[in-house]
Structure 1
């Protein structure tokens, strides 16, 4: 246990839990907060004087989750989602920091003016902390460094069609140019990796036809191209929403050789299966890349345990219910899970023998490190922001879409029994409620 230099004034908040998840593991502890920062950590019965004290008993105290893959869609497609609804859902799910993707908002965050518009739109609406990715698209190479200097956390690019015309993919030549430019200023590139030449025409409206059109080989080919470009340019790269176990071998080899490349996966790839999809109209399960089979899923779990995959993030990609109707040929591809990612992961992880410390590492500590926020976020440690979550890990519930805070209650987890309920969320030591947005707009840490 540790503390900063003591002062006479009482702490603003003390939270006590028999299951406090610290970087060294889970233990009974008291966490004391002053001016929004964790000022001391002591034994469960430490005599900390505070203006407010919360005793969680056997409920766990977790670091606030850091979700680095969220599509808020505002401005421009606020009818899909928005900063107020997305950040309310995040807080309800124990997410205290999210990084917003550069699409599907209008304008996309591909040049400094669009970032300014995005920040002005988000200001005063956010119930949790929010940062922003930039985008790398054809023609915006001169905009990458200015976006970096204005505080984006990195640059997203696609190797295949993104689904929206204003955010086209990069050709192999354009990818190399973007990677080289981003490497020059020490930035991070995050890649939707599916090779367009390996994608196939979809020959039916059911899930099987959709999955067959986006085979594992398409992911592997794109990942291998990224790895070659990382070796050529020296850029730091991150593979987004990895779904295919076929990618794990080249990725692990690259990491062992010292290449600066990491990868994430998502709760849906770790918990859902084709057998769960209820026919052609089960389009709440549609995402790109697609959900894959059980054997593939278990390989992803092993890679997560081994550290080949470092992060688990939501890829929260909502749309209006109308765009989710139809079949797997026409429906929008995206899964909404921002609010329930933590219980989804805890239910599956605990069944495999993983503890809350592992879940906190995958969903808080490693995502914070990915975007350079690990000095402030992602851990319960002295000097870190008091972004905290009270989590009743032993309580079960049934997912009711009508209780979700997302703008639209569309989820593939409807009716699923899960373990773990978020009881309270604090952002910099302040309890999040439904009325007062006090999230901070974050700026990327520059090298």
Structure 2
């Protein structure tokens, strides 16, 4: 399978169609899934060559709806070329880019146009974009929706960068009023400063010192605010990167009361635990923090019960100097973990041990993220009429994460040396091979996905 080639038909003994894995042949026309046929009927219905994947598993390409690409402005941290190659190597066919940490952030229509210009001709997979809510930009929200952003993100605590300030309650009410009558969604970094919280002083090189500075109560307080707003305005709300299991009861209660609320967690909260973070290993730092193993099991239970809707990478890279690896100071290091390339394997390695199926994997890594960003009419499922986006992989194959295999711009990740289950062989976007066995298409084949929203007058 040559990178860059056009695929008109794809056969495998293992195609995940609906909830079943079966021998089948996928017919592709003009970049879309035309039909999915029993393997025995393929030869009678295909005019061109059928690409035979043998026993490799074929399923929808992943939709990673939480990625910080950082271009323009911080391309030394990451960029579209490297981020989307890493995505393709990990079976991700659609990336949704966060409104920070690029400069300028995606908080106005003009800034959004600058972002699109920066991404043009550099994406190996398809790319959608989130807008941002910051103090005073509420009049930009509807114009940004009309321009095609997927929705908006805000912070209830300092974001880490000055050009994307966090919002007050008054800002939130102003934004919610603008978003009423739209089909948009507001994403929340759900941590809040808590009064009278004085963390014990400790060794800044010990992870426990950092963990004590961001306790569960900060997420609980923030999510209390989110659930109240969601019920008051009935605007879709989404909690990004839930790390603490403590707010789950609050989330369940809000949903039972009718709140249109969804929740994600990330690969690092499901795979890493506070007890196992070495002294000075600042590449494990992220916000909210990685918590203990008992908390992690509660997150897995919430995934199984449906209280958490999806799993994403929250790929948040930076340059090595910002991680303060020399000093090992967790209090000063940049918070963010790189995992875009390894999300499928990270998830599957841990999920299969807990009784999750491959169809659960599609639901949590493909279908639900596509639905969140209004892409479920074309992405995230093997359905005739949808884009011919596939990951072809071997769920039984083990491999070790090595630095030289990593396509992120900066190869810092806590997963180096880890043995993972599930190796990606090839990735196809809209019927074109963008990645195969370590090689990429010679030209970026991804396109920008501008979301068409239903927007009604504010009553």
- Which TM-score band applies after superposition, normalised by the shorter structure? over 0.9
* 1:201 to partner: Cα distance: 4.7
Alignment check: 8 A CA contact 2:275 2:293 kept: no
Where 2:39 maps in the other structure, the secondary structure is coil
Task: Return the alpha-carbon distance in structure 2 between the equivalents of residues 439 and 148 of structure 1.
Answer: 22
Alignment check: 8 A CA contact 1:373 1:445 kept: no
Where 1:249 maps in the other structure, the secondary structure is helix
For residue 399 of structure 1, what is the aligned residue in structure 2? 401
Moved over 4 A (4+): 198-202
For residue 218 of structure 2, what is the aligned residue in structure 1? 218
Task: Return the alpha-carbon distance in structure 2 between the equivalents of residues 144 and 212 of structure 1.
Answer: 36
For residue 183 of structure 2, what is the aligned residue in structure 1? 186
* 1:32 to partner: Cα distance: 1.2
- Counterpart of 1:68 (choices 46, 54, 65) is 65
- Structure 1: which 5+ residue stretches go unaligned? 1-10
For residue 248 of structure 2, what is the aligned residue in structure 1? 248
* 1:181 to partner: Cα distance: 1.5
Q: CA RMSD in A?
A: 1.4
Task: Return the alpha-carbon distance in structure 2 between the equivalents of residues 356 and 24 of structure 1.
Answer: 8
Give per-residue Cα distances to partners, 1:202-257, cap 9 Å, x unaligned: 73412101111111111011001100011111111000000100011111111122
* 1:371 to partner: Cα distance: 0.7
For residue 150 of structure 1, what is the aligned residue in structure 2? 147
For residue 75 of structure 2, what is the aligned residue in structure 1? 78
Where 1:365 maps in the other structure, the secondary structure is helix
For residue 373 of structure 1, what is the aligned residue in structure 2? 375
Task: Return the alpha-carbon distance in structure 1 between the equivalents of residues 138 and 54 of structure 2.
Answer: 53
Alignment check: 8 A CA contact 1:95 1:128 kept: yes
Task: Return the alpha-carbon distance in structure 1 between the equivalents of residues 300 and 246 of structure 2.
Answer: 13
Higher relative contact order (CA 8 A, sep 6+): 2
For residue 203 of structure 1, what is the aligned residue in structure 2? 201
Structural mapping, 1:32-431, within 5 Å: 32-46=27-41, 47=43, 48-197=45-194, 200-201=198-199, 203-204=201-202, 205=204, 206-280=206-280, 282-325=281-324, 326=327, 327-431=329-433
For residue 19 of structure 2, what is the aligned residue in structure 1? 24
- 165-174 vs 71-80, greater mean Cα deviation: 165-174
Where 1:245 maps in the other structure, the secondary structure is coil
Alignment check: 8 A CA contact 1:202 1:210 kept: no
Task: Return the alpha-carbon distance in structure 2 between the equivalents of residues 274 and 197 of structure 1.
Answer: 22
Alignment check: 8 A CA contact 1:262 1:310 kept: yes
* 1:50 to partner: Cα distance: 4.6
For residue 7 of structure 1, what is the aligned residue in structure 2? none
- 197-206 vs 102-111, greater mean Cα deviation: 197-206
Where 2:246 maps in the other structure, the secondary structure is helix
Task: Return the alpha-carbon distance in structure 2 between the equivalents of residues 367 and 250 of structure 1.
Answer: 22
Alignment check: 8 A CA contact 1:200 1:212 kept: no
Change (3 A) 1:246 1:73: same
Task: Return the alpha-carbon distance in structure 1 between the equivalents of residues 158 and 282 of structure 2.
Answer: 19
Where 1:32 maps in the other structure, the secondary structure is strand
Structural mapping, 1:431-442, within 5 Å: 431-432=433-434, 433-442=440-449
Give per-residue Cα distances to partners, 1:167-225, cap 9 Å, x unaligned: 01001121122122212433210000001126655734121011111111110110011
Change (3 A) 1:53 1:195: same
Task: Return the alpha-carbon distance in structure 2 between the equivalents of residues 99 and 291 of structure 1.
Answer: 23
Task: Return the alpha-carbon distance in structure 2 between the equivalents of residues 49 and 352 of structure 1.
Answer: 40
- Structure 2: which 5+ residue stretches go unaligned? 1-5, 435-439, 455-459
Task: Return the alpha-carbon distance in structure 2 between the equivalents of residues 311 and 441 of structure 1.
Answer: 23
Alignment check: 8 A CA contact 1:283 1:331 kept: yes
Task: Return the alpha-carbon distance in structure 2 between the equivalents of residues 417 and 276 of structure 1.
Answer: 16
Where 2:409 maps in the other structure, the secondary structure is coil
Task: Return the alpha-carbon distance in structure 2 between the equivalents of residues 195 and 35 of structure 1.
Answer: 48
Task: Return the alpha-carbon distance in structure 2 between the equivalents of residues 15 and 306 of structure 1.
Answer: 34
Alignment check: 8 A CA contact 1:154 1:187 kept: yes
Alignment check: 8 A CA contact 1:202 1:329 kept: no
Task: Return the alpha-carbon distance in structure 1 between the equivalents of residues 210 and 24 of structure 2.
Answer: 49
* 1:25 to partner: Cα distance: 2.8
Normalised by the length of structure 2, the TM-score is: 0.93
Alignment check: 8 A CA contact 2:14 2:22 kept: yes
* 1:328 to partner: Cα distance: 0.5
Alignment check: 8 A CA contact 1:183 1:236 kept: no
Where 2:66 maps in the other structure, the secondary structure is strand
Normalised by the length of structure 1, the TM-score is: 0.95
Change (3 A) 1:202 1:16: farther
The total of aligned residue pairs comes to: 436
Give per-residue Cα distances to partners, 1:286-322, cap 9 Å, x unaligned: 1100111111111111111111111100000000011
* 1:23 to partner: Cα distance: 2.4
Where 1:45 maps in the other structure, the secondary structure is helix
